[in-house]
Amino acid sequence: MSFNTFGHMFRVTTFGESHGPALGCVVDGCPPRIALTEADIQPFLDRRRPGQSRFTTQRQEPDAVRILSGVFADPATGEQVTTGTPITLMIENVDQRSKDYSAIANAYRPGHAGYTYDVKYGVHDYRGGGRASARETAARVAAGAIARKIVPGLNVRAALIQIGPHKIDRDRWDWDEVTRNPFFTPDAEMAKTFADYLDGVRKNGSSVGAVIEVIAVGVPAGLGAPVYAKLDADLAGALMGINAVKGVEIGDGFAAAMLSGEDNADEMRMGNDGQPLFLSNHAGGILGGISTGQPVVARFAVKPTSSILHPRRTVDRYGTETELITKGRHDPCVGIRAVPVGEAMVACVIADHYLRQRGQVGEAPEWPFPKQPSA
Amino acid sequence: MSFNTFGHMFRVTTFGESHGPALGCVVDGCPPRIALTEADIQPFLDRRRPGQSRFTTQRQEPDAVRILSGVFADPATGEQVTTGTPITLMIENVDQRSKDYSAIANAYRPGHAGYTYDVKYGVHDYRGGGRASARETAARVAAGAIARKIVPGLNVRAALIQIGPHKIDRDRWDWDEVTRNPFFTPDAEMAKTFADYLDGVRKNGSSVGAVIEVIAVGVPAGLGAPVYAKLDADLAGALMGINAVKGVEIGDGFAAAMLSGEDNADEMRMGNDGQPLFLSNHAGGILGGISTGQPVVARFAVKPTSSILHPRRTVDRYGTETELITKGRHDPCVGIRAVPVGEAMVACVIADHYLRQRGQVGEAPEWPFPKQPSA
Amino acid sequence: MSFNTFGHMFRVTTFGESHGPALGCVVDGCPPRIALTEADIQPFLDRRRPGQSRFTTQRQEPDAVRILSGVFADPATGEQVTTGTPITLMIENVDQRSKDYSAIANAYRPGHAGYTYDVKYGVHDYRGGGRASARETAARVAAGAIARKIVPGLNVRAALIQIGPHKIDRDRWDWDEVTRNPFFTPDAEMAKTFADYLDGVRKNGSSVGAVIEVIAVGVPAGLGAPVYAKLDADLAGALMGINAVKGVEIGDGFAAAMLSGEDNADEMRMGNDGQPLFLSNHAGGILGGISTGQPVVARFAVKPTSSILHPRRTVDRYGTETELITKGRHDPCVGIRAVPVGEAMVACVIADHYLRQRGQVGEAPEWPFPKQPSA
Amino acid sequence: MSFNTFGHMFRVTTFGESHGPALGCVVDGCPPRIALTEADIQPFLDRRRPGQSRFTTQRQEPDAVRILSGVFADPATGEQVTTGTPITLMIENVDQRSKDYSAIANAYRPGHAGYTYDVKYGVHDYRGGGRASARETAARVAAGAIARKIVPGLNVRAALIQIGPHKIDRDRWDWDEVTRNPFFTPDAEMAKTFADYLDGVRKNGSSVGAVIEVIAVGVPAGLGAPVYAKLDADLAGALMGINAVKGVEIGDGFAAAMLSGEDNADEMRMGNDGQPLFLSNHAGGILGGISTGQPVVARFAVKPTSSILHPRRTVDRYGTETELITKGRHDPCVGIRAVPVGEAMVACVIADHYLRQRGQVGEAPEWPFPKQPSA
């Protein structure tokens, strides 16, 4: 990972600020001959797009993606496919409203990146958070839409499972429900609680955190590597790298610390398909940094946004103490829009490891092994 | 991060298996003219070394490190210093006991990496876990000892704060206590509880997980980068990449999901040193992926080892169902020895970002900024 | 170097095809607070731009660059500067003329990349050469304009020194002349010969190769690294990576093979500035892969373009034998426009190593060393 | 490429100095299940080993390689194979003779890396050249032996074609002859001339340069990538990165600058195997940065060593002017021992690109394409 590049074989370089002319990404290393048009990407951006309910920021951005390079409509088929060269995705910024940033131009929002950008770079595009804006995640979601097309049979889905103190009941988990409510939550009952709760938070000018769970099915066994390219390590880095994320878990996560070895071990039997059947999935689909073929399960916690109407004590870039209220359009719960972002990051990590595994090992070994090795 | 290389400017490539002739690492990118002998590294290895109490594996390894390259005793000073070329650290394996692995040669320990190695590579050095052995972390600890010498004023310490269901009382936190008990825990009272509890676990042939907290003070403000080189993202990847880790948190971690924006925001005042003074540290010393200058706080959860005396259902590499008990020398709580490993990984990440920041930005900008820019 | 990314600290990712909507690059790792507007970049693109004389392709492209991200007009100064975040440069394609590619859509131009793209990717955007078009080098030239601003005192200039069999007389070398003739050659006399010679080549529907020399002055001593990050190795890769380049030399290059050790060794004296004075520069400013502080001298050979009016035997993508003539707009000597590209690549390599050196070593050691080391 | 790591999927990190305890490399990314023992590597080291004729340095080094990690004798087959984990190769230094370096401890050999190391790092292991010693290339040769086993059907051979002013007659090229004379030259007649000429150079206490040609057959079509991962660019970097190399050519190299487009274009017909048949190979097997399937042809020029008995003017590290004669064991023509090193570097580059191509594209597309695309 370079400063703004993610991945090794499937590499995503994002660019752009909240209030610049455009943002986007360059996807390098994508395999050729994959059907790809804007229509494959736009639906994912639409899910992440703000302003779709009263629970997310009211900034109005069409987030229309445009493919600038890396595809070609093969005349032999008429179908537009990837060419193996870099795919550039651009999203123009439309609703910047650069009007009045005088309040935050110099004073740091507590909990926000303004101070660290200033002390690192000595300069900071403070308009809308600049590069630290959650708008950057649109580029990730766009890249994730391509990543999904690389691994055959892969299905990456995420769901919001907690807002503030309210956690879903996993027994009511219904994937269809995720598409029906504005919280991407699988628990229809809890969606009502979330709505009431967030209305209060919003009216109060406050904000609150959330927890999201990502589940990837169809991950081939054998992705990852023993030491520094562990699949779980790369997932942890990818998810912790999403704006405002403060915690990441794989499988049982922190709860695993309380388990005994015999409870934690996922026992194995032979499945009808001749492949191993795990009797549980405490490991979250990853052992020794390598995928087992079970669903890969990850969770991440999103902190509440620092853009709130409550006055907070702070300092400005000249070293003067002051107080700050953040007016303007904001998300009472930024965790909601992190759901499609989490999916995208997991898809990118898996696509990258899929290509790396194919590179190093080529065709997967046939398992189980024959008892008598061929001479 | 390549398969076995960690870091960008400060790069650590580890190698070696549990039962091969030696393990170690090559550290590339270390600045020159840093005083370095084996004596700077050995104490950290001695802390991680097994067999020092009844609570860790009884394998007896001196873990004596030898510097094979990258240092030179400058005749002008007589002092041995780094030369800027790759530093190779080698640790020979002594107590391998390759005797009897017939039980696990073919059958997979549930919860262990045997199956995933086989299905990925089609071959697996099963002796002592091969490359998946916790012995590999000795190389990380050795590299971490070098990393510590790179950032002036950096102090990275870790402590065990939970074993199974037993959590320390943070009001009793005493760093000196960490060096006095075999658990690296800062709570002397809890150390007794841990001892009793682990004796039970050990006698029962079971194992249990743990939680470790790492605190780095003296981290300069400005380390990290906005998007894919976020300091917290790299820390998360580094800690999740330690054997058996299933969860990582920065600052308040998962608890941040339950906070309101006003409670989570770390307010700022001006300190007497002319630098910002944060009134709290929910962020764990990182905002927008960049260090604030506050202590960097990370936590990680370690699952219980899968090497237990309880019979578990499993399959072998030929697809036959069987049961397995893991005999031999094992850790009832592998989390204990993960304490120095967590320190080392955090030190490596910070050293890497320190050099990257110096490379990109050079001298840090002077903060606070002058109100009237010089003409 | 990834597939389409160049450099380590100063990283340039280029994208785009000849006949897509746009091409450009993302520059990551650029230091912050460097003054940068389109006006800093455009002059370099204008030099490379086709259609400026009858000796280059008549394609009319304004090559107007637009900065999409990574800059900010600091209100404190009003000056637009880099922010340390990714700088995206976009150049729209205007004069694509996608009309009639039926001739080369299926048949491979001998000496061109069409066959290799097809056999690698199974698909190929043949319009104007697609990604293999020399248009991609516009993005490199744009990135080079930024690279030049990073190293204080650096001046990278290139000159064409040979076309076909005609070599310049080095005694007539005049840098000012380079800007006066359409060949970027420093020998005014030879410029006339080049003109006559190329008129003949052009009328004959043929093409011819060239040799370019790049000279960088103001390269600080100490850039590069002993083994795989040798400055000369990176320069060689960078220059050989320009379209149609078949040979690269540093300093005396191939002629060094004929020298004796005593003739080749650049003797040293002390200069009036207290720094070493080299009495010759056979080494081309690089010893052991590290810059000496002398001018860095590199040369590269460009083959003749394969787009010619002479019929050549070839095959098509269906395996049928055929003959091909390349009609349309082409360069009789693509080496001419490679001059600014060579400069740009050298500037990028030096900027990258400058940042890497600053990262690893920090402030350069003071040379000469004191005879008595301080206690 | 990091400072001391070469390659992307097939990654070689070398370490070690001339007079340290050992040198070697870690090979990461090697595919699993490749038969590998020391006996596969040693013959290549033996070819590079010094002291085998009066024309190379008389330093006596057994250069015995030891595999420290990454292999396992699979009990199912009894055969030792790679496991997919890092392979560490170690070669102990035996004949260091660290006795008397007082002459060169402080004074710089003109043409040698001593000054640049000092001015870069502020410290320099001058014993035997330290990290700049040609001994480092032993690690590359060892890695190359592994690289050769990765690409099925690959055969990489090199030959010395010029020493000083004496060039071979290509009509007398005989690969068998390369193994018969101490110069690795394919021209038996010229070998005699070389012997006489070098005897004179040696007795005169001088040194001389050389040119080596590397030819790789069995390189699959499709390796490389259009822009910054061009196969020729990576070869150029790899060969220029060998000690003392000053020039690199692919195919016709600098001579291509003098060719017309029609002479330079390699025409194509269909071969009996259903694959394209190129009627010439001016391109050296690479078009647009991607291999054509023809033999890959590269050449590189090696300068004469700066270690000579002739006094040369120089300065020392304290800024004092002086004269220097290099006594001790040296190569009159270091180009001779560069022959196996050139082979190794080319093998490593090709293996790396082979794995990268497999990663990105997977199975190669079938060429020629069907005229009627399947529905």
Reported as a single tens digit per residue, the pLDDT across A177-197 is 999 999 999 999 999 999 999
Of residues A79 and D75, the one with the higher pLDDT is A79
In chain B, residues with a C-beta closer than 8 Å to the C-beta of D17 are: 69-70, 72, 83, 85
DSSP H stretches of helix in C148-264:
175-178, 188-203, 231-240, 261-264
Q: How many CB atoms lie within 10 A of CB B6?
A: 26
Pairing of strands C245-250, A71-73: unpaired
**Contact assignment for B83 to D130 by CB distance below 8 Å:** yes
What is the rounded distance in angstroms from the CA atom of residue B259 to the CA atom of residue B281? Answer: 13
Could you tell me if B130 lies within 8 Å of chain D, comparing CB atoms?
yes
Pairing of strands D245-250, C245-250: antiparallel
Interval D285-339: pLDDT, tens: 999 999 999 999 999 999 999 888 889 999 999 999 999 987 766 789 999 999 9
Cβ pair B250, A246 in contact under 8 A: yes
Could you tell me if C50 lies within 8 Å of chain B, comparing CB atoms?
no
What is the rounded distance in angstroms from the CA atom of residue D237 to the CA atom of residue D352? Answer: 14
Interval B233-258: pLDDT, tens: 999 999 999 999 999 999 999 999 99
Of residues B310 and D342, the one with the higher pLDDT is D342
Region D161-169: mean pLDDT is 98
In chain A, residues with a C-beta closer than 8 Å to the C-beta of B312 are: 262, 265, 267
What is the rounded distance in angstroms from the CA atom of residue C262 to the CA atom of residue D46? Answer: 30
Is the pLDDT reported for residue C217 higher than 90?
yes
Considering only the beta carbons, identify the residue of A32, A85, A362 that sits closest to D361.
A32
Q: Give A35→chain D minimum CA distance, Å.
A: 14
Give how far Cα B300 sits from Cα of B236, B247, B303, D286, Å. Answer: 9, 5, 10, 50
Please tell me the pTM assigned to this model. 0.97
What is the rounded distance in angstroms from the CA atom of residue B370 to the CA atom of residue B364? Answer: 15
Could you tell me if D42 lies within 8 Å of chain C, comparing CB atoms?
no
What is the rounded distance in angstroms from the CA atom of residue D133 to the CA atom of residue D123? Answer: 16
Could you tell me if B369 lies within 8 Å of chain C, comparing CB atoms?
yes
End-to-end CA distance of chain D: 44
CA dihedral A228, A233, A235, A241 (to 10 degrees): -100
Spell out the residues 6+ positions from residue A192 whose beta carbon is closer than 8 angstroms to its own.
none
* SS3 state at C106: helix
What is the rounded distance in angstroms from the CA atom of residue B216 to the CA atom of residue B284? Answer: 10
Phi, psi of B52 (to 5 degrees): -95, -15
**Contact assignment for B360 to C33 by CB distance below 8 Å:** no
Position D256, amino acid: A
Is the pLDDT reported for residue C307 higher than 90?
no
Tell me the pLDDT of chain A averaged across its residues.
93
Tell me the pLDDT of chain B averaged across its residues.
93
What is the rounded distance in angstroms from the CA atom of residue A91 to the CA atom of residue A89? Answer: 7
End-to-end CA distance of chain A: 44
**Contact assignment for C31 to B360 by CB distance below 8 Å:** yes
Is the pLDDT reported for residue D96 higher than 70?
no
Spell out the residues 6+ positions from residue D103 whose beta carbon is closer than 8 angstroms to its own.
D324, D325, D327
Interval C119-131: pLDDT, tens: 999 999 998 889 9
Give how far Cα C240 sits from Cα of A370, D29, D253, D287, Å. Answer: 48, 26, 10, 12
Grade residue A375 by pLDDT with cuts at 50, 70 and 90.
Answer: very low
**Contact assignment for D282 to C303 by CB distance below 8 Å:** yes
Please determine, for the modelled complex, whether the ipTM score is greater than 0.85. Answer: yes
Grade residue A307 by pLDDT with cuts at 50, 70 and 90.
Answer: confident
Per residue, what are the HEC states of chain B?
CCCCEECCCCEEEEECCCCCCEEEEEEECCCCCCECCHHHHHHHHHHHCCCCCCCCCCCCCCCCEEEEECEEECCCCCCEEECCCCEEEEEECCCCCCCCCHHHHHECCCCCCHHHHHHHHCCCCCHHHHHHCHHHHHHHHHHHHHHCCCCCCCEEEEEEEEECCEECCHHHCCHHHHCCCCCCCCCHHHHHHHHHHHHHHHHCCCCECEEEEEEEECCCCCCECCCCCCHHHHHHHHHHCCCCEEEEEECCHHHHHHCEHHHHCCCEEECCCCCEEECCCCCCCEECCEECCCCEEEEEEECCCCCCCCCEEEEECCCCEEEECCCCCCCCCCCCCHHHHHHHHHHHHHHHHHHHHHHHHCCCCCCCCCCCCCC
Q: Give A167→chain C minimum CA distance, Å.
A: 37
Token pair for D68: 């420290």
What is the rounded distance in angstroms from the CA atom of residue D141 to the CA atom of residue D25? Answer: 10
**Cα–chain center distance at C296:** 14
Could you tell me if B28 lies within 8 Å of chain D, comparing CB atoms?
yes
Region B112-134: mean pLDDT is 93
Token pair for D327: 């006594």
Q: Give C311→chain A minimum CA distance, Å.
A: 25
Spell out the residues 6+ positions from residue B133 whose beta carbon is closer than 8 angstroms to its own.
B17, B18
Of residues D42 and A95, the one with the higher pLDDT is D42
Is the pLDDT reported for residue C133 higher than 70?
yes
What pLDDT is stored for residue C97 in this prediction?
Answer: 61
In chain D, residues with a C-beta closer than 8 Å to the C-beta of C136 are: 226-227
Grade residue C375 by pLDDT with cuts at 50, 70 and 90.
Answer: very low
In chain A, residues with a C-beta closer than 8 Å to the C-beta of D222 are: none
**Cα–chain center distance at D298:** 11
Q: How many CB atoms lie within 10 A of CB A76?
A: 16
Region D219-242: mean pLDDT is 96
In chain A, residues with a C-beta closer than 8 Å to the C-beta of D226 are: 85
Considering only the beta carbons, identify the residue of D121, D164, D243 that sits closest to C258.
D164
| Tokens 């290549």 -> residue | D44
Structural element, H or E, at residue A290: strand A290-291
Could you tell me if A285 lies within 8 Å of chain B, comparing CB atoms?
no
Spell out the residues 6+ positions from residue D363 whose beta carbon is closer than 8 angstroms to its own.
none
Counting as contact any 3 or more CB pairs under 8 A, the partners of A are B, C, D
What is the rounded distance in angstroms from the CA atom of residue C207 to the CA atom of residue C1? Answer: 32
Token pair for C137: 């080098």
Is the pLDDT reported for residue D374 higher than 90?
no
Q: How large is the C-alpha radius of gyration of chain C?
A: 22
Grade residue B373 by pLDDT with cuts at 50, 70 and 90.
Answer: low
Interval C110-119: pLDDT, tens: 999 999 999 9
Interface of C with B in 170-209 (CB under 8 A): none
Structural element, H or E, at residue A261: helix A261-264
Burial of B314 (0-12, 13-18, 19+ CB in 10 A): buried
What pLDDT is stored for residue A297 in this prediction?
Answer: 98
Cβ pair D36, D67 in contact under 8 A: yes
Token pair for A74: 């093969």
Cβ pair C346, C156 in contact under 8 A: yes
Cβ pair C209, C333 in contact under 8 A: yes
What DSSP state is assigned to residue A371?
S
Can you list the positions of beta strands (E) in A178-256?
210-217, 245-250
In chain D, residues with a C-beta closer than 8 Å to the C-beta of A359 are: 9, 29, 355-356, 358-360
Could you tell me if A80 lies within 8 Å of chain B, comparing CB atoms?
no
What is the rounded distance in angstroms from the CA atom of residue A361 to the CA atom of residue B6? Answer: 21
Interface test with A, best of D33, D228, D360 (most A CBs within 10 A): D360
Grade residue C226 by pLDDT with cuts at 50, 70 and 90.
Answer: confident
Could you tell me if A76 lies within 8 Å of chain D, comparing CB atoms?
yes
